[in-house]
Amino acid sequence: MESFGVSKPVSSNQTSLHKDLEVLINRYAKAVDKTPITDFTYEAFEQIKQKVAETQLPLWLDSFSGTGVSTRYFAQQNSDYCVIGVDQSSVRLRAEPQPEGENYMLVRGECEGLWRVMAQEGYYTSMHTLLYPNPWPKSQHIKRRVHGNAAFRSMLRISSRIELRTNWEIYAREFERALMLSNRPTQIRALEVDRAVTRFEEKYRASGHTLWQVTSDARDVSV
Ligand SMILES: C[S@@+](CC[C@H](N)C(=O)[O-])C[C@H]1O[C@@H](n2cnc3c(N)ncnc32)[C@H](O)[C@@H]1O
């Protein structure tokens, strides 16, 4: 079990949205992503397809699930979805072992590669949560952020409904801007959390951070 003490607010050499964000979004809209995809990510996709086929339920993907606290919570609250958490860290995935639920599973995979395979195969989510992805706050690491990465396009293609949470306002506003530049409806708000649904949310809330939520529902809009 990890230690979740007091956390400092995100500190960055950026004071506003990244200057290259728009250029990157436009570039990735046209570019072909050739980043290698790991074998364990292909395996994750096979596991997801199997679980969804077994349950016959729409897929709720919980990317960057960490130990899976949010995955289990969403599965319990939404028995009409098959909720699958994905994280690249086998250590995190093993940290809080729980029996697999009927509509719940954790898989090891790299989110960016998984989104791309899913997009290539025309395999879509019905709900996609991305709770507290690593912020990569250094300006030079913009391409490691979800919206600064070539996989952002694939993420959009597989996701009609998106919810991202972060404790860094600039990250939330960049994500919102990236959605807008991609012609996706979007909303941003500071989140009042009565009950933390992830370990990091628990830590950030206890540390007094403002939590940001960005949502997008594109069911009526063609991307
Ligand atoms: C800040 S933690 C948040 C975990 C969880 N969502 C929470 O709020 O407690 C970020 C998680 O993303 C995972 N991660 C980072 N990059 C990843 C990637 N490219 N693909 C899959 N998981 C990744 C890390 O292993 C880590 O568990």
Give pLDDT tens digits for 111-122.
999 999 999 999
Q: What is the model's pLDDT at position 219? A: 77
**DSSP assignment of 2-36, as one string?**
------PPP--S-SSS-TTHHHHHHHHHHSPP---
d(CA 207, ligand 1 centre) in Å = 20
Architecture of domain 21-217: 3-Layer(aba) Sandwich (3.40)
Q: What is the model's pLDDT at position 2? A: 47
**What's the helix, strand, coil split of the chain in %, to 5?**
40, 20, 40
Mutate to test the pocket of ligand 1, among 134, 136, 207, 212 (most ligand atoms within 8 A of CB): 134
Can you list the residues of the chain whose pLDDT is less than 50? Answer: 1-3, 222-223
Give pLDDT tens digits for 166-183.
999 999 999 999 999 999
d(CA 199, ligand 1 centre) in Å = 11
| Nearest CA-CA partner of 104 in 79, 129, 141 | 79
Query: Where do the domains of the chain lie?
Result: 21-217
Q: What is the model's pLDDT at position 45? A: 98
Task: Give the span between the Cα atoms of 159 and 141, in whole angstroms.
Answer: 24
Residues forming beta bridges with residue 216, ordered by sequence position: 162
